[in-house]
Amino acid sequence: MSPSTAHAAPADYSDARILRAAASVGVIGGAGQAAPRLLAMLSNPLVSSREVAALVGQEPGLSVRVLRIANSAFYGQSRGISTLDAAIRLLGLEAVRGVAAAACMDRTMAAVQKGAPMDLGRLVDHSLATAIAARDLARKHLADGSGDAFIGGLLHNLGITVQLQLDPAGVGRMLAARQAGAAEEILELEKGRVGVGHQHCLQVVFSSWNLPPSLVAACCHHHDPQAAPPQYARLAAAVNLGTWLALASGQTYDLEPEAGEPSGVALACLGIAAADLDPLRENLPEQFTALKSAMQA
């Protein structure tokens, strides 16, 4: 063993290193990257549609996407919305926040995809299906929070892209274990194979965005809703079961290739039975196709 190997410094998985890795793939927006700032702005209940329109207008790709969605059949329109102000009034601020979240996902995946050991397009599709299912669960079983459930579904696995930057060899070990038949849940799969968990990466990034604690909890405890602060456990459970519905409807990806069984803990948090998920599962493929088409800009 060489001296350099014997005395190698431990890998740096500090919060500062996580933020640098996130910045390297566009998760933390800089100049000309409005989506993360828009997400933070829309978490402020006092924000005006005019302020949102001004920020969206700084990024042409975001503007095009908002207008496209406002004119889509998914939102009941076919044509006629030509200004950002009109589009934002039609969609509402929660829907625009969803557009911003989708833009964050797309930009990040495009930056990471080259040379990635996994198909990130499938991860994006899984996240979109999770968002739809989590929103529908929240609408039906929570007094409020459907907006946070949708955003939580979209962004719940964004930490994986940061993992890929920080510890590509560790993610490779996780993928190899899956290919060899490992069936454990993803948090168990991470143990001993990767230097930092994807939920922790996301928590660090969300803190830098100044997102509200409800949304942080929904994403960062989507695998373990009981570990979320009690007031947010039901929201985290909605994202957890949204994830299962996405997998069960066929929107799987390399690290979660099968749905398994829905979490009994998450079901109990929402006070529902597994059979209550069946109608959502049946409707999800059609909803997914419609929303994916609307969000493509």
Residue 223's pLDDT is 93
Element (H, E) at 59: none
Residue 2's pLDDT is 40
DSSP 133: H
pLDDT < 50 regions, the chain: 1-9, 30-32
What confidence tens digit (pLDDT) does each residue in 254-269 have? 999 999 999 999 999 9
Greatest extent of the chain over all pairs of C-alpha atoms, in Å: 70
What confidence tens digit (pLDDT) does each residue in 35-81 have? 666 666 666 667 777 777 787 777 777 787 788 777 776 666 556 78
- C-alpha closest to that of 233 among 138, 139, 166, 99: 138
Residue 27's pLDDT is 66
CA 85 to chain centroid = 26
What confidence tens digit (pLDDT) does each residue in 234-255 have? 999 999 999 999 999 999 999 9
Q: Would you say the C-alpha torsion 252, 258, 263, 267 has a positive or negative sign?
A: positive
Residue 83's pLDDT is 80
Q: Which domains does the chain have, with CATH numbers?
A: 15-295 (1.10.3210.10)
Instruction: Please state, in angstroms and rounded to a whole number, the distance separating the CA atoms of residues 160 and 295.
Output: 22
Q: Would you say the C-alpha torsion 122, 74, 27, 110 has a positive or negative sign?
A: positive
Residue 277's pLDDT is 97
Give the predicted TM-score (pTM) of the model: 0.83
Contact present, 98 and 131 (Cβ < 8 Å): yes
Is residue 210 classed as helix, strand or coil in its secondary structure?
A: coil
Residue 9's pLDDT is 41
